Amino acid sequence: MTIARDAVIIEVGLNEGATRAVNPNIPITPGECASDALRCRDAGASTIHWHARDPSTGEQRLGDADLYSEALQAMRSGGLVGYPSYPVDAGLAVERRLDHVWELHARGELELAPIDLGSVSTIPWNKGLHDFAGLDALRARPGVVDNPLTFVLDAVERAGALGMPMTFGAFDVGCSRILRMLVESGRLHGAVLHKIFLSEGWAVGPLPSVAALDLHVAQLPEGLDGAWMVVPYSQSDPAVIEHLCRAALERGGHVRVGIGDSPAANPAATNAGLVEQVVVWARDAGRPVATTAEVRAFLGLAPPADGEATRGSGGPPTS
């Protein structure tokens, strides 16, 4: 299954854990995240990912359903498909990691279930210093994002039972292979979004390159009921981001950008400005930009209620 018109889904990573010391445009509060998301929608984005942050301190509150709820309601009323992150605290049992996801869905607010396919280590690399970074912090807390297979399968089963489409994160090539296994085992029903992370500063998986992207894509099942997108992550060079995104577009894939994903690459950019760049790259590849209505239909989600807004087409390109 492919999205109508071979249109490009543009997703935005609004903030992650980035600070305003790196980019002053990082949204923190629920209101800021919602407003920024709607600006991204007007520029051409259809899906939004963000981290709940303490409105006063900016600290991450990755499992705070109430903080997500405040922003999510505004995003959904604008036709966007938004979804949260999840906590990886050492003291939190793995099976409780997505409690806020199920709670937000029960409230009738969250439509898309985020599930990362596999466990990965935190390996922070500073390209400029040619050395590892943040080792003191790693000694103070576990440096592993723990997503064991049983957790993944249980989450997939629960999301499926709830009728929630899923967005998968693939941090290493094996994660994309797991998606094939989920399909072959008959566990997936309906369209999915599959995100391929290619990272410089978080040294997980192969070095970011078109060859690495192709290796991921080669693991996916033929005729995948869904769409895959590239996520250039923790990158310091905007030219690398553009190269990877253009390669994905040429291969029929989709794109995620965001000042939260790679704040050092564009320290003065806005999220909406990055979306406008992707609109230009999509047009260069001969592909239109997906409307919010098209993405919702692709995922099997209900259209926005009467009186709620949807963007009709990609926003104006930058020159």
Residue ranges per structural domain of the chain: 4-298
The answer on pLDDT for 108 being more than 90 is yes
**What is the pLDDT at residue 313?**
44
- The pTM of this model reads 0.94
Provide the pLDDT for residue 163.
96
- For residues 234 and 247, the answer to whether their CB atoms sit within 8 Å is no
**What does the pLDDT look like over 191-250, one tens digit per residue?**
999 999 999 999 999 999 999 999 999 999 988 899 999 999 999 999 999 999 999 999
Mean confidence (pLDDT) of the chain: 92
> What's the average model confidence in pLDDT over 121-132?
90
pLDDT at 1: 60
Determine what percent of the chain is predicted with pLDDT higher than 70. Answer: 94
| H or E stretch covering 254 | strand 254-257
Q: How far is CA 90 from CA 55, 96, 154, 294, in A?
A: 24, 12, 20, 39
- DSSP β-bridge partners for residue 170: 196
What pLDDT is recorded for position 310? 57
| pLDDT band at 319; cut points 50, 70, 90 | very low
The C-alpha atoms of residue 280 and residue 284 are separated, in whole angstroms, by 6
When pLDDT is averaged across residues 71-78 and rounded to a whole number, the result is 95
pLDDT value at 37 more than 90? yes
- The superfamily (CATH) of domain 4-298 is Aldolase class I (3.20.20.70)
Tens of pLDDT along 267-312?
999 999 999 999 999 999 999 999 999 999 999 999 876 444 555 4
Bridge partners (DSSP) listed for residue 53: 60
DSSP labels for 171-228? SSHHHHHHHHHHHHTT---S-EEEEEEEESSB--SSPSSHHHHHHHHHHSPTT-SEEE
Interval 90-117 mean pLDDT? 94
Longest CA pairwise span in the chain (Å):
54
User: Beta partners for 193?
Assistant: 167, 227
Cα(301)–Cα(295) distance, rounded to whole angstroms? 8
Average pLDDT over residues 160-176: 97
Question: Mean pLDDT, to the nearest integer, of 184-189?
Answer: 94
What pLDDT, on the 0 to 100 scale, is given for residue 317?
28
pLDDT of 128 > 50? The answer is yes
Task: Spell out where 69-164 has E strands.
Answer: 81-84, 113-116, 120-121, 125-126, 131-132, 144-145
pLDDT at 316 over 50: no
Q: pLDDT band for 60, please (50, 70, 90 cuts).
A: very high
Q: What is the C-alpha to C-alpha distance for residues 178 and 193, in angstroms, rounded to an integer?
A: 14
